[in-house]
Amino acid sequence: MSAAARPATVGDVVPVHVGIIMDGNGRWAAARGLPRALGHKAGAEAARRAIEAAAEAGIGWLTLFAFSSENWRRPADEVRDLTGLMRLYLRSEVKTLVREGIRLRIIGERERFGPDLVRAIDAAEAMTAEGRRLNLNVALSYGGRAEIVAAAKRALELGLDPAALDEAAFGRLLSTDGMPDPDLIIRTSGEQRLSNFLLWQSAYAEFVFQDVLWPDYEARHLAEAIGEFARRERRYGVRVA
Given a contact cutoff of 8 angstroms between Cβ atoms, the answer to whether 62 and 135 are in contact is yes
Angle at 214 between CA 230 and CA 217, to 5 degrees: 55
Q: Which amino acid is at 26?
A: G
Marked catalytic residue, from 23, 81, 181, 183: 23
- Cα distances from 144 to residues 39, 150, 194, 201, 226, in angstroms, run 25, 10, 10, 9, 24
The answer to whether residue 135 is catalytic is no
**Catalytic residue chosen out of the listed positions 25, 71, 77, 161:** 71
User: Among this protein's residues, is 25 annotated catalytic?
Assistant: no
What is the residue type of 68?
S
Q: How far apart are CA 52 and CA 54, in angstroms?
A: 6
Catalytic residues: 23, 71
